[in-house]
Amino acid sequence: MSYEGPEFDPRPSPPSRRGRRALIAALVVALAAAGVAVQRAVGGDGDGAAPAASSGSPDARATPGGSPGAASGSPSVSGTSSPPASSTARPPAKRGPLSGKVVVIDPGHNTGNAAHTAEINRTVRIGNGAKECDTTGTSTDAGYAEAKFTLDVSRRLRALLEQQGATVRLTQDGDRPWGPCIDERARIGNEAKADAVVSVHADGSAAGNRGFHVILPGTVTQGGADTRGIVGPSRELGERIAGNFVRATGSAPSDYVGDGTGLVTREDLGGLNLSKVPKVFIECGNMRNGKDAALLTSAAWRQKAAQGISGGIVGFLRG
């Protein structure tokens, strides 16, 4: 502003001691308020994901070609995990075509898993066998963690579905130090009576392999698991997601699994075996392939990925 004009005194008299104290107090309050505003403005890391920990080695329980194994969830171990507040539904942002529908989004792995190896290495039952509670997931060669990717895409996906009126739950929202285990992840979807569940992942296959694929549940009827009621609707959900993912992202289906269909059926993933509601996994690309990695690390492409998954879910729920 300009300090010129008839109302400006270039030689103001100094304020009294009491006036100086009042001025200082007012300045402190103003600076404190500004500091809060700045902190809120810059508190995120730019893409909405929690700070990444070391991704560790990829899950040895891989798909053909080295895909990380599935994550689903389990109870806390010796009180070391905080309650999964993210499993509580947020109210839908608005009424819309998905009003009354419940969707559970499962961000694969957790950026804190690498610091909690004892917890994630314990085994849990998956119906037809046993697997580790969870894994660290994979990462790009430059160190961008799968767990950071999955949480970012899941948050974007949640926003899109809430705009359609859906009630959305995340199995974890960066709000717990590790996990949840694969059986707990499945249980969150079951207890929510979800109309659809999608577990978001990225693959860690050989560097020459490219593309996305959607993993469907096979028929498993062992050890308390019974997927017979969800195999059919899960396939429909997966087909719709695959088709919309191609249109939204321009990515091609996997060239190393699925015979070009982008669909793979598996019976060794606890998150699918233990589900009682329609559920699929999506491996959005191969983090170890340079071209796929360039997409996965792009915020603009991650938004397209979320749009593709959302489109498939909306199509499935609306019939």
- Which structural domains are found in the chain, ordered by start? 52-75+85-318 (3.40.630.40)
Q: Is residue 180 a contact partner of residue 73, using CB atoms and an 8 Å limit?
A: yes
What mean pLDDT do residues 170-181 have? 97
Residue linked to tokens 């010129």: 4
What mean pLDDT do residues 285-306 have? 98
CA separation for the pair 270, 225 (Å, rounded): 9
pLDDT score recorded for residue 51: 30
Q: Which of 112, 95, 206 is nearest to 151 (CA)?
A: 112
pLDDT score recorded for residue 16: 44
CA separation for the pair 292, 200 (Å, rounded): 16
pLDDT score recorded for residue 90: 72
Of 8-22, 51-65, 152-166, the least confident: 51-65
What mean pLDDT do residues 55-67 have? 34
Separation of first and last alpha carbons in the chain: 60
* Burial classification of residue 233, based on how many CB atoms lie within 10 Å of its CB (0-12 exposed, 13-18 middle, 19 or more buried): middle
Q: Which phi and psi angles does 219 have, rounded to 5°?
A: -85, 115
Tally DSSP H helices, then E strands, for the chain: 8, 8
* Lookup: tokens for 129: 């066998």
pLDDT score recorded for residue 92: 63
**Which of the residues are catalytic?**
283
pLDDT at 46 over 80: no
* Lookup: tokens for 169: 């739950």
pLDDT at 32 over 80: no
Check residue 105 and report its DSSP letter.
Answer: E
* Lookup: tokens for 295: 């997409």
What mean pLDDT do residues 265-292 have? 98
Mean pLDDT, the chain, as a whole number? 80
pLDDT score recorded for residue 95: 87
What mean pLDDT do residues 105-115 have? 98
CA separation for the pair 197, 234 (Å, rounded): 9
Of 64-73, 149-158, 223-232, 261-270, the least confident: 64-73
CA separation for the pair 139, 286 (Å, rounded): 9
Q: Which residue has the higher pLDDT, 71 or 230?
A: 230
Of 4-18, 126-140, 286-300, the least confident: 4-18
CA separation for the pair 154, 50 (Å, rounded): 12
pLDDT score recorded for residue 45: 29
- What band does 93 get if pLDDT is binned at 50, 70 and 90? low
pLDDT score recorded for residue 94: 76
Alpha helices per DSSP H over the chain: 17-42, 117-121, 146-163, 182-191, 231-249, 270-273, 290-296, 299-318
Give the Cα-Cα-Cα angle 130, 136, 140 (nearest 5 degrees): 135
Q: Is residue 55 a contact partner of residue 145, using CB atoms and an 8 Å limit?
A: yes
Check residue 51 and report its DSSP letter.
Answer: P
Q: Which residue has the higher pLDDT, 105 or 32?
A: 105
* Lookup: tokens for 258: 């699925």
CA separation for the pair 38, 41 (Å, rounded): 5
What mean pLDDT do residues 234-252 have? 98
pLDDT per residue over 128-161, tens digit each? 999 999 999 999 999 999 999 999 999 999 999 9
